[in-house]
Every structure is written in C-alpha cells, then in structure tokens.
Homo-oligomer: A and B are copies of this chain.
Amino acid sequence: MEALVRQALKRHQPQAAGTGPGAVNGVGVATDAPRLIANISARHAHLSQQALDLLFGPRRSLTVLKPLYQPGAYAAEETVTIFGPRKQMISNLRVLGPLRDACQVELAFSDARFLGIDAPVRVSGNIAGSAGCYLVGPHGGIEMSEGVIRAARHVHMNQGEAGYYGVTEGEGMRLVVDSAQSGVLDDVTVRIGADVKLEVHVDTDEGNAVDLINARKVTLERTR
C-alpha cells in the first residue's frame, strides 16, 4: 500500500471577495485573503526517540525524504508495518518527522476498519485512552497501548489569519469544496500556532468523498 503523505492539492488561490471579515467587496479591488491550501494526509506515524530506537536500532535518527508544507515537518524515509488486534497489517506506513514525545498513528476510518482498530476522532496530541496497535520495523517491534487516532480534520493558521477569519483556537470551521463530487466538510478544527502556514488537513476518506484532488475551488468559512 502506498502510504506517503500526499500533498495533492496545493491551491494558491485567494478566496472570493466577501467570504471573510477582512475582505473588500468591489470589482478590481484586491482582497487581503490569505492563500488557502488544503492537503490530504494519508495514514502515517509519529514516533518518539525511544520507539525509533526499538524499531530501527539504537541511537537512530530519521532521514528526511521530503519536506512537508508546515515549516520543519517532513516525510521520513523510514516506514513501519502496523498490525491491529486481528493480525491484519498495513506495511509501508510512513513515519513523519520530527520526532515527538509520544508515538501517534493517524489513520483514516477505512484503514482503521481494515485493521480492526476502533480509532477515535481526536485532535492531534490528544491521545489519552485512544486505540492501540503493534508497530514493526527492521530492528524490532513495539506495542502502543494508545495513540492510534483518526485525526480530526483541522486547519493550521497563525494569529493574523485567525484574525482575518474571526476565529479562535479549537472552534470548528467549514471547508467548502467545489468539484465533480462537491461537498462541505464541517467541524474543521482551528489550530493556531506561531510558526505555521495556513493549511487545511483532511484524511484520505474525507479527500476522496469530495474529490478534493480534482477540486475546482476550495473555500474556508467561519460557521458561527
């Protein structure tokens, strides 16, 4: 199975005038709308140093395969195999860097159901009481007692962009997708950070449902 994080849709288009509180209406008048990018995150794993050592060997470090859109984030050359409780497995699960304090595996529901894992929808980092799995690498295997989630769809933005949209940390926004299979994804969680770029992350099920890869237009809207 292919597990490389797909960055399929990089749309550098301004939003239509009038869709945000800072927009200026009027023909020929430029807006200050930030550039919106919506990317599909395929299933992947974040690892701790301890897990990396157990899976790939002592004192290992990750090797950068490809930088991701967010500054400092990258797809690593390293991949692992994930097993669920029924011993179904998915190989070539991509590891994303940099290393984290805790291991976390992000799956689409399609992946989780295949593996027999009941992954809850969680904002990344909130893994207490989530599902477990087994990971196997070339050096060894580990059991994760928790950390397997379906990442809640979300949008990274800085404080200025949050001001533009008029939203606050943790609230839900709406992603409107115009495609051959158009649709709207609500409950896109706002995640505000200092050194992030404006980017919506959805999983493969969500991207597939609205044919995001072939979208004609993507718009982010405040919902309250």
A residues lining the B interface (CB < 8 Å): 1-2, 108-110, 113-114, 121, 152-153, 180-187, 204-206, 208-211
Contact = CB atoms under 8 A, between A and B. Distances in A.
A108 to B, nearest CB: 7
A114 B42 CA distance: 12
B2 A208 contact: no
Given A181-B153, A181-B187, A185-B209, A204 B110 contact: yes
Contacts of A209: 183, 185, 205-206, 208-210
A131 to B, nearest CB: 16
Contacts of A211: 121
A215 to B, nearest CB: 12
B108 A180 contact: no
Contacts of A182: 186-187
Which of A2, A121, A205, A206 counts the most chain B CB atoms within 10 A?
A: A205
Contacts of A186: 181-184
